[in-house]
Amino acid sequence: MTTTIDLSDLDFWARPRREWDKTFAALRAADEPVFCPREDGPGFYAITRYDQIAEASRNPQLFSSEPIAVGLDDPPPEVAALLGSMLSLDDPRHAQLRRIVARAFTPRMISKAAEDVSTLATEIVDSLVLRGPCDFVAEVAMPMPLEIVCRMMGVPDSVRPEVVEATNALIGALGDPDHQDPGGKPRSAVLADNARFLHELMRELARHRREKPADDIITAMVAGDVSGEALSDADLGKFFVLLVVAGNETTRNALSHALTLFTDHPEQRDLLLADLDERMPAAIEEVIRYATPVNWMRRTVARDTELLGHAYREGDRLIMYYVSANRDETVFVDPYRFNIMRNPNPHLGFGSRGPHFCLGAHLARREISLMLRELFIRVPDIHATAEPVRQRASFVNGVLELPCAF
């Protein structure tokens, strides 16, 4: 089945969410694979059902993350060399890198980061109370995840403004294929220049930690263990790019969507505030399901195969739409309702179970939980005062601006 709806068209993603939902409901109901042709590049199959995505995610030997998991098109080699994180690798290389990177997400490291998250949440709300009505994205949602990443990676305070600038440029270029920066650089140059800056920063920090090891994440990743496994400078740079983009985007957008959702659904806010500690974990899961900060990931068929009875050929591109699977009527009761008491809630907001399930999911949940808790304890009536200004992108369900008051 070939659809006439162009899911690669950013105009589609600029439409209201209810139009996305209507489109994906129709695609989920199709009896055969849905092919999406493109005028400016190779077409792809839209994988929209929960069971399809779960099955593909469990079988990376058939549905590969290489050459790239986060783009409809393969990037130029010079860009791929800088952005090709473990997100776009298969085993055994993926497993090797994930083992090393996992040292950054041990319970002890997460607990240590949580102390910073709690302190930072207090500082952000302190500033918010003094400032009054403002842009929630700029003053609350964005500072939290990026500052935590910088603290985890030991980025000096003096360099953090440049990291913020580079991160925002990367996110803009990744999300919009027509992106050009104010200086007129093409998208590929914006990606390469800003990724190169982050790589060089990590190379210098790694050199310093090899000379003077410390009890921090960079030391853990660049110091070889008993088997000699360690990240190279290039791998460390790619991991940092992944952290500042993926880690920043998911948490920032989840927090922004949370404020909008609790503004639009005051009965759910009241339900949460009635027992904040008990209901916060389930509320976070429902925010992630309902908002789905990352809309999709790509897979490429490694060899002729079948997926739940339908045939695909080697080289076919599949786009796994988490934003659709999180509304799948066969999995979620009343899926279009925002319900913080939803149980069970096996959403795919952090990807499906498999080798690429989000390694930082636990930290993201901790950041969102501590930030929302601080907000709702100290300014429980905080609310959005206008519709969010959304990012013009298909890959992320991004929020650029969100005015708030309390």
Query: Alpha-carbon distance 297 to 248, whole Å?
Result: 17
DSSP string of 342-398, one letter each residue:
-SS----BTB-SSTTS-TTHHHHHHHHHHHHHHHHHH-TT-EESS--EE-S-SSB--
Residue 270 placed within a domain:
yes
pLDDT band with cut points at 50, 70 and 90 for residue 139: very high
* Res. 109: pLDDT tops 80: no
pLDDT in tens, 12-51: 999 999 999 999 999 999 988 899 999 888 999 999 999 9
Residue 1 placed within a domain:
no
Residue 279 placed within a domain:
yes
Residue 3 placed within a domain:
no
pLDDT in tens, 221-256: 887 664 667 888 888 899 888 888 877 788 999 999
- Number of domains into which the chain is organized: 1
Give the pLDDT of residue 225.
65
Share of the chain above pLDDT 90, in %: 59
Residue 212 placed within a domain:
yes
Query: Alpha-carbon distance 326 to 321, whole Å?
Result: 9
pLDDT in tens, 69-88: 888 888 788 877 888 788 89
pLDDT band with cut points at 50, 70 and 90 for residue 173: confident
pLDDT in tens, 307-326: 999 999 999 999 999 999 99
Residue whose structure tokens are 């083992």: 99
Residues facing 351 on adjacent strands: 349
What average pLDDT does the structure give for the chain? Answer: 90
Phi/psi at 296 (5° precision): -160, 165
Domain range for 291: 10-405
Residue 63 placed within a domain:
yes
* Res. 110: pLDDT tops 80: no
- Average of pLDDT values for 108-136? 91
pLDDT band with cut points at 50, 70 and 90 for residue 177: low
Residue 2 placed within a domain:
no
* Res. 360: pLDDT tops 90: no
Gyration radius from the chain CA atoms: 21
- Average of pLDDT values for 215-223? 81
In total, the chain counts a number of residues equal to 406
Residue 5 placed within a domain:
no
With vertex at residue 405, the alpha carbon angle to CA 20 and CA 251, rounded to the nearest 5 degrees, is: 50
pLDDT in tens, 84-102: 788 899 999 999 888 888 8
Give the pLDDT of residue 387.
97
- Average of pLDDT values for 299-313? 96
Q: Give the C-alpha distances (Å, rounded to integers) separating 373 from 118, 269, 278, 301, 309.
A: 10, 12, 11, 43, 46
364: domain CATH number is 1.10.630.10
**Model confidence pTM above 0.85:** yes
